[in-house]
């Protein structure tokens, strides 16, 4: 297939590129600074010229604190940018696979959120991604919305690297116990997205590594895997003041992906593989 990836230089985009090329697909990517999704003409022209069968829309302003401080810009980029992508997909009749987030939910549920539960974002990043979802549902000719959570990938700096570095440097570790979701290894998400493309059924999907944990439990598991006996001070979200307040309890239940035979392994298994590779570097 001919596949256009927006945000191909990001955490997910990079891994997707490698996996899709390995499967023999023809790819083109768009990302900053050469390709700007808020530029409607550029987005339309790039898709008209490449004429993709599928657009995987991974580009987003993902800095949640920046979004909280600049809510209008968050909607302009994540909302209007996605509108441009959806309109271009309509023009070239491409399937739009839009990557979204557990932060479209309010985090007040008593069980993991299912695909068609009511969205009610509680911060500007979540709101901007909710706008993006609405645009996709209303404008794309065919679409999949794939929500995920707590992504980590090789390279760059993520929660795992920060916990390991702080523990090794003897710095104080304080981690929240009341933010709960599912850490997700980008390689596992990319493999599941490829399976989803094979199945080809439109709709909303929840793809995260299976199971759930608090940030505190996640940090404890990271330290256990690297064999560091360092204590972590449990704190609550109210103790950890930052511009963007995440939804507290927002794991995602995979009902529709599982019905199509697509399930990701437990988060502990994926994390163990990732940490082993990280430590071997």
- Active centre residues (catalytic): 125
CB of 243 to ligand NAP, least distance (A): 16
For residue 18, state whether it binds ligand NAP (rule: CB under 6 A).
Answer: no
First vs last C-alpha separation in the chain:
34
DSSP class of residue 230 equals -
Say whether residue 11 binds ligand NAP (CB under 6 A). Answer: yes
Cβ proximity to ligand NAP: between 77 and 192 the closer is: 77
| Shortest distance in whole angstroms from residue 12 CB to ligand NAP | 4
Nearer to ligand NAP, 67 or 225 (CB): 67
Classify the C-alpha dihedral 82-265-150-117 as positive or negative.
Answer: positive
Q: x/- site string to ligand NAP, residues 115 to 134, per CB under 6 A?
A: --------------x-----
- Close Cβ partners of 261 (under 8 Å, ≥ 6 residues apart): 195, 199
Q: Closer to ligand NAP by CB, 158 or 177: give it.
A: 158
Q: Does 177 bind ligand NAP (CB under 6 A)?
A: no
Stretch that binds ligand NAP, among 18-26, 143-151, 165-173, 264-272 (CB under 6 A): 143-151
Under the binding rule (CB under 6 A), the answer on residue 182 touching ligand NAP is no
* Cα atoms in the 13 Å half-sphere on the side-chain side of 173: 26
Closest CA to 96 of 57, 126, 50, 42: 57
Asked if 162 is part of the footprint of ligand NAP (rule: CB under 6 A), the reply reads: no
Nearer to ligand NAP, 168 or 265 (CB): 265
Q: How far is CA 8 from CA 12, 22, 34, 105, 164, in A?
A: 7, 15, 12, 26, 27
Q: How many residues does the chain have?
A: 281
Position 16 contacts ligand NAP (CB under 6 A): no
Site string for ligand NAP, 21-40 (x = CB under 6 A): ----------xx--xxxx--
Q: How many angstroms separate the CA atoms of 250 and 241, rounded?
A: 19
- Residue 95 touching ligand NAP (CB under 6 A): no
Instruction: Give Cβ neighbours of residue 262 (< 8 Å, ≥ 6 apart).
Output: 192, 195, 196, 199, 205, 207, 254
Task: Note if the bond before 33 is cis, omega within 30 degrees.
Answer: yes
For residue 42, state whether it binds ligand NAP (rule: CB under 6 A): no
Given the rule CB under 6 A, which of 56-64, 84-92, 221-229, 262-270 is the region that contacts ligand NAP? 56-64
Strands 54-57 and 95-101: parallel
Q: In the stretch 185-224, what mask flags binding to ligand NAP with x, by CB under 6 A? A: ----------------------------------------
Largest Cα separation within the chain, whole Å, is: 57
Residue 101 vs 254, nearer CB to ligand NAP: 101
Evaluate whether 266 touches 144 at the Cβ level (below 8 Å). no
Is 164 a binding residue for ligand NAP by CB under 6 A? The answer is: no
| Binds ligand NAP (CB under 6 A): choice among 20, 47, 59, 275 | 59
């Amino acid at each position: 297939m001919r596949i256009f990836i927006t945000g191909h230089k990001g955490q997910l985009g990079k891994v997707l590129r490698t996996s899709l090329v390995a499967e023999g697909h023809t790819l083109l990517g768009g990302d900053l600074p050469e390709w700007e999704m808020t530029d409607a003409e550029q987005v339309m022209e790039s898709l008209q010229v490449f004429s993709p069968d599928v657009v995987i829309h991974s580009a987003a302003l993902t800095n949640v604190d920046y979004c909280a401080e600049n809510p209008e810009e968050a909607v302009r980029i994540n909302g209007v940018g996605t509108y441009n992508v959806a309109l271009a997909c309509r023009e070239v009749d491409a399937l739009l696979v839009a990557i979204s987030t557990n932060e479209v939910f309010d985090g007040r549920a008593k069980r993991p959120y299912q695909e068609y539960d009511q969205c009610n974002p509680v911060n500007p990043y979540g709101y901007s991604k909710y706008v993006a979802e609405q645009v996709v549902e209303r404008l794309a000719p065919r679409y999949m919305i794939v929500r995920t959570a707590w992504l980590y990938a090789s390279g760059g700096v993520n929660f795992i690297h920060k916990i390991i570095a702080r523990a090794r440097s003897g710095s104080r570790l304080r981690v929240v116990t009341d933010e709960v979701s599912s850490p997700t290894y980008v390689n596992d998400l990319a493999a599941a997205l490829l399976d989803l493309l094979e199945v080809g059924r439109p709709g909303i999907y929840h793809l995260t590594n299976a199971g759930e944990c608090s940030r505190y439990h996640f940090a404890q598991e990271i330290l256990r895997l690297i064999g560091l006996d360092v204590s972590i001070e449990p704190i609550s979200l109210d103790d950890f003041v930052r511009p963007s307040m995440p939804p507290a309890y927002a794991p995602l239940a995979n009902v529709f992906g599982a019905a199509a035979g697509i399930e990701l392994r437990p988060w502990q298994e994926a994390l163990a593989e990732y940490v082993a590779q990280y430590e071997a570097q």
